[in-house]
Amino acid sequence: MSQGVTYADLRFVKVPRRESQEEEPNDGELTYENIRGPRTRGQEEEKKEEETPKEPEDARESDRRTWFTILALLATCLFLLATAIGLGVQYGQLSQQLQRESQNHAEQSNLLAQRLGTLEESLSGSQELLRKAERDLLLTQKALEESWRDGNRTQRQLGDQVRQADLNLTHLKWEKEQVERALGQATSCQQMGCCPHGWKIFRWKCLWVSPSSERKSWRNSKEACRARLSQLLILKPWSARELWDGVIARDEEPNEYWIGLRETWFGTKWVFTWVDGTPYEASERLSQRWDYQFGTLKSGIVSVDIEETPHPYICEKAASPEPPFPG
């Protein structure tokens, strides 16, 4: 057993340290290194590791943790750096995109502002046209209302005129009948001489012209005619000039005579009416100097005077045996 030298036995044989580096091993000593031959680099490193005293297990575990921590921190830093770089790139891209969008927005805003300005100008013009149209419409509406009122007023006036024309036509028909009847009677009276003594026949009426010495007030003249079964003269249907020239001017001296015309209050104004109640419709325009004026016949025209003034008078009655007119 002592003679059998194995590789395992030789491997653990340690060579004594040389005291000096200048000393070389004895070639005659038989050692493991001499037997094994020259060492390789790997074997030398292995030998160094074997010669290096082993550290405690806890220290190596702590070193590993420290390296792991450093690696984790380094990895975290690299991740954060990569994230920051990515965010920076994205921020740059977003900034460029936002800048482009801002430019587009500015351009669109300018276009919209221009369009808005154009629309505002158009709207202002439209509003002005609308106001003008409203004013024109208001004026037209007022004109239509005024025309409508004028039309209604004209219609009422036409209605009144038509009614008055109907009344006048009726009255003219009645007067025509009376004139025709009186004319017939006057013709027969002229043939028979039916006017009383002292009366003058004119057309179909018998007229009493008082002498100039017989002067009375208007009311007393009216009563004097009533006493003669007649009434004060009514100038219908002839004119004052026609009667004056036909009856008075040729026989009597020029004078002023009472006739059957008086001023009365009718509704809201003073009007002249004949004693039979019909309105005065002659062409002469009578002056209104006093209230309660009464008509006269003076030099072929109709005039007025106050009631108390004494004048001669003219009475009339139909040229027939019929009863006289009421006074």
In the chain, where the domains are located: 193-318
pLDDT for res 260: 93
Phi first, then psi, for residue 91 (nearest 5°) are -65, -40
Residues of the chain with pLDDT under 50: 1-3, 6-8, 10, 12-13, 15, 18-29, 31-32, 35, 191, 323-327
pLDDT for res 63: 82
pLDDT for res 225: 95
Residue 73's H or E segment, with its range, is: helix 57-192
The whole-angstrom separation of Cα 309 and Cα 257 is: 11
pLDDT for res 54: 53
Q: By C-alpha distance, which of 240, 242, 235 is closest to 280?
A: 235
> Pairing mode, if any, of strands 205-209 and 231-232?
unpaired
Q: Select from 3.40.190.10, 3.10.100.10, 3.40.50.1110, 3.40.50.620 the CATH code of 193-318.
A: 3.10.100.10
pLDDT for res 321: 54
pLDDT for res 32: 47
Reduced to 3 states (helix: H, G, I; strand: E, B; else coil), residue 231 is strand
Structure tokens of 5? 């030298």
Q: By C-alpha distance, which of 257, 248, 192 is closest to 221?
A: 257
pLDDT for res 254: 62
User: Please, is 319 exposed, middle or buried when counting C-beta atoms within 10 Å of its C-beta (0-12, 13-18, 19+)?
Assistant: buried
pLDDT for res 271: 84
Read off the pTM: 0.43
User: In the chain, what percentage of residues exceed pLDDT 70?
Assistant: 71
pLDDT for res 104: 87
In 174-268, which ranges are E strands? 200-202, 205-209, 231-232, 256-266
